[in-house]
A and B are shown apart, each in its own frame.
Chain A
Amino acid sequence: MTITHYLILSLLLFSIGVAGVLLRRNTIIVLMSLELIFNSVNISLAAFSYFLQSLNGTVFVIFNITVAAAEVAIGLAIVVSVYRSRKTVNVEELDEMRY
């Protein structure tokens, strides 16, 4: 397989993730689509790491996975905290900063 196959797969997953972030109303599904975007970038990085025979991409993937896990933890904590005060997770109803 050439690198183009992996890059096209990464592009398709990225655009499906972007569609999910833009189109869904539920904040948790938006966060899941964000995880899709992270994974598409990880595929692209690992593909470059293999085809250019270096380890920079692989180490970057490790850091990317770690940072994504931390971000999901904080994001879900924020969502739960917002749900407690506003009783909704609909992105179209969460349109004011002040409660």
Chain B
Amino acid sequence: MEQIFFYIFAAVAIISALCVVTLRNPVHSAFSLIICLVQVAAIFILLRSPFLAVVQVFIYVGAVMVLFLFAVMVLDMGKETIREHMHSQTIPAVGIVVLLLALIGWLISRGGITAPLGPFDEAALAKNTEVIGKTLFTEYIFPFEVVSLLLLIALIGAVVLVMKERPKSRLQGPQA
């Protein structure tokens, strides 16, 4: 039963990813990416992390994709014709992608991934948010603080980058 769900989610994710890369209208690409991100959230649920699935839907679909759609609206890009669609160096790029697929596919099929198992089996992962929260705030407290600083920098940086220059105000002294 779980297998059927996995194959459905995987197939829809791959088809929508192909649509992101090949569709001509940027808004259609954005919607295909939304579908792909929701499939990834479903796969997180299959991997027994509902917390990750909810975080994915909130942040990726709810914030990042809305930001993309705002940018597409602001830039007002129309549909692209087939000729201006793809890069001029299509053949080497496709060659590189096929090479990447073959190489990593061979490495994965060799198998032999062994590592010592940790303490969090399925029963311990049942209280997902509590377990992740404890780990995040005790073991990983330093990266947590660094990431919050990074978000502050991103916020300030994004505002500064799109700020228009204001005309310099001229101070008027008292009239003679």
Interface size, chain B (Cβ < 8 Å): 81
With A4-B111, A46-B52, A62-B52 already in contact, the answer to whether A15 and B158 are too (CB < 8 A) is no
> What is the CA–CA distance of A24 and B42 in the complex, to the nearest angstrom?
28
- Chain A residues proximal to chain B, CB less than 8 Å: 1, 3-9, 11-20, 22-26, 28-29, 31-33, 35-36, 39, 42-43, 46-47, 49-50, 52-56, 58-59, 61-63, 65-74, 76-81, 83, 89-92
Closest B residue, CB atoms, query A79: B71
- Chain B residues proximal to chain A, CB less than 8 Å: 2-3, 6, 10, 13-14, 17-18, 20-21, 26, 29-30, 33, 36-37, 40, 43-44, 46-49, 51-52, 55-56, 59-60, 63-64, 67-68, 71-72, 74-75, 77, 80, 84-88, 90, 93-94, 96-97, 100-101, 104-105, 108-109, 111, 113, 115, 117-121, 125, 131-132, 135-136, 139-140, 143, 147, 150-151, 153-155, 157-158, 161-162
With A59-B136, A77-B162 already in contact, the answer to whether A52 and B40 are too (CB < 8 A) is no
Contact A22 B52 (CB under 8 A): no
> What is the CA–CA distance of A7 and B150 in the complex, to the nearest angstrom?
30
Q: Summarize B's interface: helix, strand, loop or mixed.
A: helix
With A49-B49, A83-B75 already in contact, the answer to whether A69 and B158 are too (CB < 8 A) is no
With A36-B36, A74-B158 already in contact, the answer to whether A80 and B74 are too (CB < 8 A) is yes
Contact B101 A11 (CB under 8 A): yes
> What is the CA–CA distance of A46 and B43 in the complex, to the nearest angstrom?
9
Contacts of A79 in B (CB 8 A): 71, 75
> What is the CA–CA distance of A60 and B135 in the complex, to the nearest angstrom?
11
> What is the CA–CA distance of A5 and B108 in the complex, to the nearest angstrom?
10
